[in-house]
Amino acid sequence: MTVEALAGMRVLDFTTGVAGPYATKLLADHGASVLKVEPPNGDSARRQGPFAGDEPHVEGSARFLSLNTNKRSMTLNLDTEEARGIVRRLVPEQDVIVEDFEPGFLRERGLGYEDLETLRPGIILVSLTPWGQFGPYVEYKQSDLIAQAMSGPMLWTGNAEREPLKLAGAVSHYHAGAMTALAATIAHYRQELTDEGEHVDISIYETQASSRDRVQPHITNYSYNGSEPGRRRAGVSLATGVRPCADGYVNIAGGTSERIPRFLRMIGREDLLGDERLAALPAPLAAELVEDIETSYLEWLMQRTKRQVVEEAQRARVMAAAINTPEDLVSDPHYRARGVWETIDHPHTGPVEYPGRPFIFSETPRAPARRAPLLGEHTAEELTRLGYHDADLSRLRELSVI
């Protein structure tokens, strides 16, 4: 019998939206016991599309469903003293608390780090906010778009003749969420060794300024010599970048001096292999030679589908990828063969395929995922465990505590 890597780790989760829930999903998916405390009207992600069947429903949000697998849900209104009392009774059972309230919110409610540490010595509090717990911008509003604009790589993405592009799909929040999960497990590792607590201050803004998607190296480069990167299309150099083919677009890297012989053989232009003008690489080649090569390349591409191009190029040891649509991705034979997709049943949506494990452990494999919880699905169970009776639950509901 195998155990999951985070078996026995207990997490109380006060987060909503994308970043925090992605962090606690990573923990829950690998065996941590995560109790998600939602406000009585639910995590805001429950009201964000796309929805199953295009019908807005609190249990039908694709965003919520994919971000909250393996968690349990209870509702609590933290603006009531009774709810805060329930939290104080839950805290001693936890190893880690993850929260994304504005700075000071928990402290004002008697649940700051010192309060929590008194309730559960050695607790880890992970506070995830747009700007961090302090700094001149803490009162300002921030969203995924604003984070990408200011501390992300947005200015360097897209076509120089047009407006810069953010990276679609709220990726700054997912990246920050992955950082949060990492910070939580690193702090938890020390906690298990020393019994000492920690307050982790995560700023989405700083996670983006630390991102390996160009920001960290570009800032380092600026610090070294004051230069700035540009904003460029993909596919400006010989045989390299995004090109059209019979059914879409592909991205190939074939134009370096090392790869060009393999590339020319691949597109059937062996006749150019001995051409002395190729020796000029990596400097730009003569314009008529570039046009000759690119014309043959385009003809070759237009006779092939994305998948054919990628397979032939990779066989020729030329790095290549398709610009896949969601349909291409979900039907792709490689992902099918590796069993990436995981079917999860849910009372509102029925069985649906989700992206499964992000990595594979040889000794601590993931258990099959449990669906995201219904809103407050485990409230009664948790309160009963704490000694509340049915009559108490009705009263708490009437008082809008749960």
Partner 1 sequence: MPRLPLEGIRVVDVTVAWAGPSCSQLLAEWGAEVIRVEPVTRIQPMARYADRPSTREQQITLASQGYSGGGGYPDFEPGDQPWNRNASFNSNARNKLSMTADITTDEGRDIFYRLVEKSDVVVENNVPETIAKAKITYEDLRRVQPQIIMLRMPAFGLSGPYKEFRGLGTHIEGMIGHHYIRGYPDGTPDEAGEAFTGDAVGGVQGAFATMLALRHRRRTGEGQQIELAQAENFLPVLGEQILDWTMNGHDAGPQGNQHRSHAPHQAFPCLGEDQWIAIDVGTDAEFVALCGVLDAAELAADERFASAPSRWKNRTELDSLIGERTRNHDKFALFHELQGAGVAAGPLLDAEEKFHCPQLRERGFYEYLENSVVGGHWYPGLAWKTVQTENHLQRAPAMLGQDNEYVYKEVMGMSDDEYQQHVDSGMIADAYPPSVLGYTPPYTAPESGT
Site for partner 1 in 22-51 (CB under 8 A): 22, 25-26, 30, 48-50
Q: Which of 175, 301, 371, 396 binds partner 1 (CB under 8 A)?
A: 175
Q: Is 209 in the site for partner 1 (CB under 8 A)?
A: yes
Task: Transcribe 7-60 into DSSP letters.
Answer: TT-EEEEE--TTHHHHHHHHHHHTT-EEEEEE-TT--GGGG-S-BGGG---TT-
Nearer Cβ to partner 1 (222/389)? 222
Among the candidate windows 34-42, 97-105, 323-331, 392-400, which touches partner 1 by CB under 8 A?
A: 323-331
DSSP class of residue 367? Answer: P
How many residues does the structure list for the chain? 402
* CB nearer to partner 1: pick between 275 and 328: 328
Q: Which is nearer to partner 1, 28 or 401 (CB)?
A: 28
Distance CA 262, CA 8 (A): 53
Over the window 62 to 91, marking each residue x when it contacts partner 1 by CB under 8 A and - when it does not, the resulting string is: xx-xxx------------------------
Q: Does 157 bind partner 1 (CB under 8 A)?
A: yes
What are the tokens at 69?
């697998």
Binding range to partner 1, per CB under 8 A, among 104-112, 215-223, 263-271, 383-391: 215-223
15, 75, 129, 142: which one contacts partner 1 (CB under 8 A)?
142
- The three-class DSSP label of residue 396 is helix
333 binds partner 1 (CB under 8 A): yes
x-marked contacts with partner 1 along 233-252 as a string, rule CB under 8 A:
xxx-----xxxx----xxx-
Tell me, residue by residue from 334 to 373, as one string, x for binding to partner 1 by CB under 8 A and - for no binding. xx-xx-xx-------x--xxxxxxxxxxxxx---------
Question: 259 - beta bridge partners?
Answer: none
Q: Which residues contact 334 (CB under 8 A, 6 or more apart)?
A: none
Q: Which residues contact 186 (CB under 8 A, 6 or more apart)?
A: none
Q: Which stretch binds partner 1 (CB under 8 A): 102-110, 267-275, 310-318, 379-387?
A: 310-318
Amino acid identity of residue 53, one-letter, is G
Please report, as residue ranges, which positions from 371 to 400 form the binding site for partner 1 (by CB under 8 A): none
Q: Closer to partner 1 at the Cβ: 53 or 104? A: 53
The b/e string for 103-142 (b: 16+ C-beta within 10 A; e otherwise) is: bebbeebebbbeebbebbeebbbbbbbbbbeeeeebeeeb
Which amino acid, one-letter code, is at 107?
R
In the region spanning residues 269 to 308, those forming contacts with partner 1, defined by CB under 8 A, are: 279-280
Which residue type occupies 158?
Answer: G
Shortest separation between residue 96's beta carbon and partner 1, angstroms? 12
Q: In the set 197, 254, 255, 373, which binds partner 1 (CB under 8 A)?
A: 197
Q: What is the rounded CA–CA span in Å between residue 72 and residue 377?
A: 7
Please report which helix (H) or strand (E) contains residue 240, including its range. strand 240-245
Q: Which of 329, 367, 386, 399 contacts partner 1 by CB under 8 A?
A: 329
Nearest to 25 by CA among 353, 354, 384: 354
Residue 277 and residue 265: Cα distance in Å, rounded? 17
